[in-house]
Structure 1
């Protein structure tokens, strides 16, 4: 057994950790980064999350614009898109590996880490001798993984959001269990490529945090793509047979139906990736869902151990993991002023087609909070740029405080919404009123100038 010592041990190659590592090394610390898999250099976003899925979404939109009708052509287009996705991921993974492996002061190790004691971590390497690393500071950055419910039956065609990305063939028929962000993104992407998609949702509706008018518009557009929704329903079994795969679905009335598909995606949430860490040996506390408990500076109950990114139970976005790095930087080498309390208006995006982006309160939330509000609405077709892009569907909506003129929230469902929402979030964080966005000069023709017209509705 080899023994090593380091100033900082970072377990996991996610966004926050991979940004923290060179920063600490440049400060003169010795840094060790441990990643359990060589296929995960760079973290979830690059390998199995944001980058590959959004690459496929973009390719699907290009295929849709070509108006290819036969499935064989769409299947070939999907294979080309899948190959491009693989090349892109491979390139980014390699660059991320090299950024750390070639950095002086950083020791990158591939292996499974588990705590031995609060300061000691065992790293089991597949092809080399295992080692014990003793660290002054430890940062857990292991992320989250798909949660898979227990199902009856026997099938080789059940996937989660990670394993589905390994499938290079376009399925003719797909069932997606769950209608959250991940489920809807895959549903929209595969339907745009040409797959017959059925979404099975145990609840009576989807995206319950959105206003009813937004939900209605999203459902209408997704159904126009051919997506079928089965609400108040659950999958009882998945069974392979000579026809392919049959899933049995039971609705709230107790009646059942069978659906023949080629693939079943379970998009039923994510859980913390901590099962192999032996956190109890370090005394690190977790909550009832297994996420690591941290304070607003991201410290665990063990003072020299921090948790960064999805594993700490915060919003599961790459840009939040990056902000976690900023908080730690502030407390290790800065004025100790930053904390999670600073996060006021976090924008979110769902890359269905068109994209859905949101920041702040919905209309319903604003009313419940006691605000007197004004509401602005505008259809996506009102944008000249949307007409140019041939992406005229959707609905843009903003909520404004009647008394102060401050923007309370904004939901954009339309072309390039994921870009525009960042401007609205910036305006909210800097206490600009809706008039500042209404009367600002934007380039033309651009999607951003929809803000002129949207806030003119007030």
Structure 2
């Protein structure tokens, strides 16, 4: 078994590991990157890229059906699901090849190995290569970027039926007749609207009292109404206790609800109940790397694990699981290892995110629930999207903007449920980064007619929040 030494060993080709590999190589270091599955990580292969590509197809189908609202003849689209999947695959493959080219053709000093890495010491791993050979690698520094996979709940009968994860559903070449979605988080919501627009009956089954448990009640209620208006059935407060499948291929979910037992039936079942870290096969105990109770790697503010010289980046160390946070993990490590100047921390950084339903739900900073929990005084204002000229002109009037302002007249956070909600949320993020006071936005000259004009008006009715009993 060959024993090879490198300056840096990166396990996992994700949104933190790939740019780190090229940056370290450009700095003159010898880098080896080990990937067990596909180059590009979850975002490119079964996360953001394929999901948003297929959401775009679903949006086109919705536009054809609703063309009558704009004075055009509506059309019932004939959805060619195999073609939708093929388009998605073409986009994914191009991005995957871009990663491969960047790592293997455009940079010297990077070795890419396909295989499973297992620690046999603090900074030593054994790699079982795809071809059957084995290599032993040692490095001055090791970076773990192995991500997460779908969490499968412990429900009677679930392991005995052919349920789908999001990865498998994205490759399904036909439109499900009736898709059951177990889980009401942002993944479940995006897939529910997507497949409803493709023509499926869709039922979301959620154990909690509302969708998107971390959001304020008004945002959850508004999104619930949006989905229900499109024909998505939503069952809340439903604890699924048993899953079965008949000989005819019909799934039955037996759930306990506040009104008694309920049985939900469908032709396909998507399990979207969260993620678990890919740490169980890494042999981290051999390295001395400590995990938390859920299997995530424990790290400090510099993303270093309990073993000196071993780092964890991306979803595998827990916390918010977003591509942009993983990429910022790369920037934290890059700054602390390669740049002179103040240390960069992975703590207390902005957390923007967006749920890509239509309308989108964009979030930055604090919402009301978080401000109350932290005891932070705030004023709040809500602007119905229907009051924005651009919304009326385009017919995209569903949703609202909500802003929280602190005692210093600066923005604490924003919730944007709106067409292009992610882009508008990013404007609020820039406002917060620039520490502008809300009065400056009220008096700013903004081009007409744009969505941004809402910045002139959203703060108009600022008031203290109502006290909740």
State how far apart, in whole Å, the 2-side matches of 1:128 and 1:253 are: 54
Post-superposition CA distance 1:352-407 (Å, at most 9, x none): 11110111122243345444433221222222333344322111111112x32111
Which structure 2 segments of 5+ residues have no match? Answer: 68-74, 463-469
Matched, 1:209 2:207: no
Residue in 2 that maps onto 1:126: 130
Change (3 A) 1:59 1:438: farther
Q: Cα offset for 1:76?
A: 2.3
Post-superposition CA distance 1:108-144 (Å, at most 9, x none): 1110110111121111112152111111110000011
State how far apart, in whole Å, the 2-side matches of 1:206 and 1:244 are: 28
Change (3 A) 1:152 1:235: same
State how far apart, in whole Å, the 2-side matches of 1:55 and 1:214 are: 25
Matched, 1:96 2:99: yes
Residue in 2 that maps onto 1:447: 451
Residue in 1 that maps onto 2:389: 384
Residue in 2 that maps onto 1:43: 41
Deviates further, 192-201 or 437-446: 437-446
Matched, 1:420 2:424: yes
Q: Cα offset for 1:261?
A: 1.0
CA contact (8 A) 2:64 2:76 kept: no
Residue in 2 that maps onto 1:30: 30
* SS of residue in 1 equivalent to 2:155: coil
Deviates further, 358-367 or 174-183: 358-367
Post-superposition CA distance 1:262-300 (Å, at most 9, x none): 211111110111121000111100000000000000000
Residue in 2 that maps onto 1:9: 9
Runs of 4+ with deviation above 6 angstroms: none
* SS of residue in 2 equivalent to 1:284: coil
Residue in 2 that maps onto 1:172: 177
State how far apart, in whole Å, the 1-side matches of 2:186 and 2:203 are: 15
* SS of residue in 1 equivalent to 2:458: helix
Matched, 1:107 2:111: yes
Post-superposition CA distance 1:132-188 (Å, at most 9, x none): 111111000001111001333376541112222121211121111111111111112
Matched, 1:136 2:134: no
2:165 equivalent among 137, 160, 173: 160
State how far apart, in whole Å, the 2-side matches of 1:259 and 1:252 are: 12
Q: Cα offset for 1:75?
A: 5.8
CA contact (8 A) 1:75 1:169 kept: no
Structure 2 length as normaliser, TM-score?
Answer: 0.92
CA contact (8 A) 1:6 1:133 kept: yes
Tell me the matched-pair count.
Answer: 452
Structure 1 length as normaliser, TM-score?
Answer: 0.94
Structure 1 residues 213-232: aligned runs within 5 Å? 213-232=218-237
State how far apart, in whole Å, the 2-side matches of 1:75 and 1:119 are: 55
Matched, 1:340 2:351: no
Post-superposition CA distance 1:327-371 (Å, at most 9, x none): 11111111242101351x311111111110111122243345444
1:292 equivalent among 274, 282, 297: 297
Task: Report the RMSD for the aligned CA atoms in angstroms.
Answer: 2.0
Structure 1 residues 322-333: aligned runs within 5 Å? 322-333=327-338
Change (3 A) 1:236 1:296: same
